[in-house]
Amino acid sequence: MKNLDIRMSYKIFLVIVVMAFFLGIVGFFEFVAIKELSRNMKIIYIIVLSIVFGFIAIFATIRFTKIITQPINEMVRQVEQVASGNLTALRDYVPIDTTDELGRLSRSFYHMANTLKTYVQEIITVNEELLEVAYQDALTGLPNRRYFVERLNKLFSEKKTQHLALLYIDLDRFKYINDTLGHHVGDQILAAVAERMAACLPDIDTLAKLGGDEFVLVCQNITNEQQAATLAEQVIAVFEQPFSAQNNTFHITCSIGISLYPQDGKDIDSILRAADTAMYAAKQRGNNSFQYYTGKMQQKVLRRMELENIIHQTIEKEGFQVYYQPRVTSSSGQIVGMEALLRLPYNGGFISPAEFIPVAEETGLILSLGAWVLRTACRQNKQWQLAGYPPLRVSVNLSPNQFNQKDLLLQIKETLAETELAACWLELEITEGAFMNKAVATQKTFADIKSLGIHISIDDFGTGYSSLSYLKRFDIDCLKIDKSFVDEIGQDSKDSSIAHAIISMGKSLHMLLVAEGVEKQEQLEFLQKHKCDQIQGYIFSRPLPPAEFEKLLQKQVRFA
């Protein structure tokens, strides 16, 4: 009786009771009228009638009560289920569908509960979507840092986790792609990298994207470095084939740091920090390399952090200095130019550029520092010219990050305009690694720089790619022979031969040859013998602050 009208049930109950009462009265009077029956028989008859009509009344009462209470109990049960959070208990009908107060209450509850059920289902759906967002990287679809942290903590808490390896993967020079081609291209490459790694490394426990161009890989039951190395080699193999984006082909490489649990850390912070530290060590070894964590690496990390803080503090205090080292003709000893060199004063001395320049490169601070050095050197050179000294060409190093800036040409033009230095008195030194594999873009950049009247030299020639094809293709004025070749002149026949070959090649291409780091007389004599054009090194002068360099100009010093 799903939808029984309670009022009708009540009416039927009243009819039954009235009929029973009427029949009882009739029977009673008929019984009284029978005179033949004895007194005892009359009593028995009355008792029997009372029992019969009592049973009828009880049955009618029970039946009526059941009709009333069953829907109410059903509604109470559903209310309790809903109150406990179990909305699946709702029936597809209204328990009491009458026109009275109970019916209205039942219908109101039913509609309220079903509305609540729909609302809760929507909340569940939204929560599932939020969980997906919270634990999934939107770009690649891989688990994100939050998921990785919780997963690793769970593994650490499980007794069955005896060993695992963590590989910290960072894409090499990926910032250059973002800076030069835009983040939309970088995003496409990141998505492709993630998809390929996920497809090629199916047996790992977790592959997650930590952020930027950094990924992390967790694999259980890796007990030693050799097993971890095999896994790292599988990751590197993923990058053997180029990636495509925006109709361009990109040869991407990676650096991998490896840490092992529990040897290198027993909690997530220590093991992740160890892998990150090892990754930076791998970067120093070159592209597509991996490195295990060692305790000594932590000292290097602390030193790097210290250097970064020192650089920031020195920039804030405007404490950086530019020194100048003279470039001297090998034939006459006359000063014909100078190289501007950045110096970082600290505790009464100087921190080596070989130590702080890489940190400035990695942090991006080299961009502002490089622009400052260029501006300072141009301004100083102009001041010396205005003071009446013979005009000299100042050479300024451009870091790879500087050279690859989109607005490099604009910065140079603005600097020359601001300092009023003629472009012919400026030379830009660029290392080979800054422009290799970007022939078309480099050729245009060189042409734009040369169009201003600026000279271009290749710094540290012979230590990088040293491709003869770019020497012919690019408009280069000068080759600087790296100090590593000059150091062994007279002691190592191979280095002497290399230096001689570079000089001969440069001469045949009508380029100016400058030898760096010349410190010994036998080195000078060798370079003079082979007609190296200019000499730069401690044999003539160390790098000098502006005031001391100006004294050389005042005395018109000629180095013998």
Tell me which DSSP letter residue 224 carries.
S
Select from 115, 130, 154 the last residue of a domain: 115
Name the pTM for this structure. 0.64
Q: Are 278 and 291 in contact (CB under 8 A)?
A: yes
Residues 392 and 509 in one domain: yes
CATH number of the domain bearing residue 445? 3.20.20.450
Query: Does a structural domain hold residue 560?
Result: no
Residues 423 and 532 in one domain: yes
Q: Are 281 and 297 in contact (CB under 8 A)?
A: yes
Residues 283 and 337 in one domain: no
The whole domain housing 100 covers 6-115
113-131 per-position pLDDT tens digit: 677 777 777 777 767 666 6
Query: Does a structural domain hold residue 302?
Result: no
Closest CA to 416 of 440, 449, 445, 447: 449
Query: Does a structural domain hold residue 406?
Result: yes
Residues 180 and 279 in one domain: yes
Q: Are 239 and 254 in contact (CB under 8 A)?
A: yes
CA dist list (Å): 346 to 310, 314, 349, 376, 377: 8, 9, 5, 20, 22
Residues 388 and 535 in one domain: yes
Total of domains in the chain: 3
Residues 185 and 325 in one domain: no
Cβ-in-10-Å burial (0-12, 13-18, 19+) of 477 comes to middle
- Name 413's Cβ contacts closer than 8 Å, sequence gap at least 6: 452
Residues 275 and 340 in one domain: no
Query: Does a structural domain hold residue 135?
Result: no
How far is Cα 511 from Cα 254, in angstroms, rounded to an integer? 36
How far is Cα 79 from Cα 61, in angstroms, rounded to an integer? 27
Q: What's the count of helices (H) and strands (E) in the chain, helices before strands?
A: 19, 16
CATH number of the domain bearing residue 259? 3.30.70.270
Query: Does a structural domain hold residue 44?
Result: yes
Query: Does a structural domain hold residue 343?
Result: yes
Angle at 181 between CA 178 and CA 187, to 5 degrees: 50
Residues 354 and 449 in one domain: yes
Instruction: Quickly count: other Cβ atoms within 10 Å of residue 92's Cβ.
Output: 6
418-459 per-position pLDDT tens digit: 999 999 999 999 987 777 667 777 888 899 999 999 999 998
What's the confidence (pLDDT) of residue 3? 44
Query: Does a structural domain hold residue 480?
Result: yes
What's the confidence (pLDDT) of residue 178? 84
Q: Are 148 and 192 in contact (CB under 8 A)?
A: no
Select from 64, 95, 115 the last residue of a domain: 115
Residues 332 and 466 in one domain: yes
CA dist list (Å): 147 to 219, 231, 256: 15, 22, 21
Q: Are 408 and 402 in contact (CB under 8 A)?
A: yes
How far is Cα 483 from Cα 463, in angstroms, rounded to an integer? 10
**What SS3 state is found at 201?**
coil
What's the confidence (pLDDT) of residue 102? 66
Residue 549 has phi, psi (to 5 degrees) of -65, -35
Question: Per-residue DSSP letters for 1-31?
Answer: -TT--HHHHHHHHHHHHHHHHHHHHHHHHHH
Select from 69, 98, 115 the last residue of a domain: 115
Helix or strand run (H / E) with residue 117? helix 101-135
Query: Does a structural domain hold residue 299?
Result: no
Residues 164 and 251 in one domain: yes
Residues 212 and 274 in one domain: yes
Q: Are 257 and 277 in contact (CB under 8 A)?
A: yes
Rg (CA), the chain: 45
Q: Are 483 and 516 in contact (CB under 8 A)?
A: yes
Residues 104 and 158 in one domain: no
Please list the alpha-helical segments (H only) found in 250-397: 268-285, 295-316, 353-363, 365-386
pLDDT digits (tens), the chain, 560 positions: 444 445 555 555 555 656 656 555 555 555 555 555 566 665 676 677 667 766 776 776 666 666 666 666 766 776 677 666 666 655 555 555 666 666 677 677 777 767 777 777 777 776 766 666 678 898 999 999 999 999 998 888 887 778 899 999 999 888 878 877 888 999 999 999 999 999 888 778 899 999 889 999 999 888 888 999 999 999 999 999 999 888 888 889 999 999 999 899 889 999 999 999 999 889 888 788 999 998 888 888 888 889 999 999 999 999 999 999 999 999 999 999 999 999 999 999 999 999 999 899 888 899 999 999 999 999 999 999 999 999 999 999 999 889 888 899 999 999 999 999 999 999 999 987 777 667 777 888 899 999 999 999 998 786 655 556 677 788 899 999 888 888 888 776 777 888 888 899 889 889 999 999 999 999 999 999 999 999 999 999 999 999 999 999 998 888 86
β-pairing, 214-220 vs 164-171, is antiparallel
How far is Cα 344 from Cα 356, in angstroms, rounded to an integer? 8
How far is Cα 301 from Cα 265, in angstroms, rounded to an integer? 16
How far is Cα 545 from Cα 542, in angstroms, rounded to an integer? 10
Q: Which two tokens stand for residue 186?
A: 């970088």
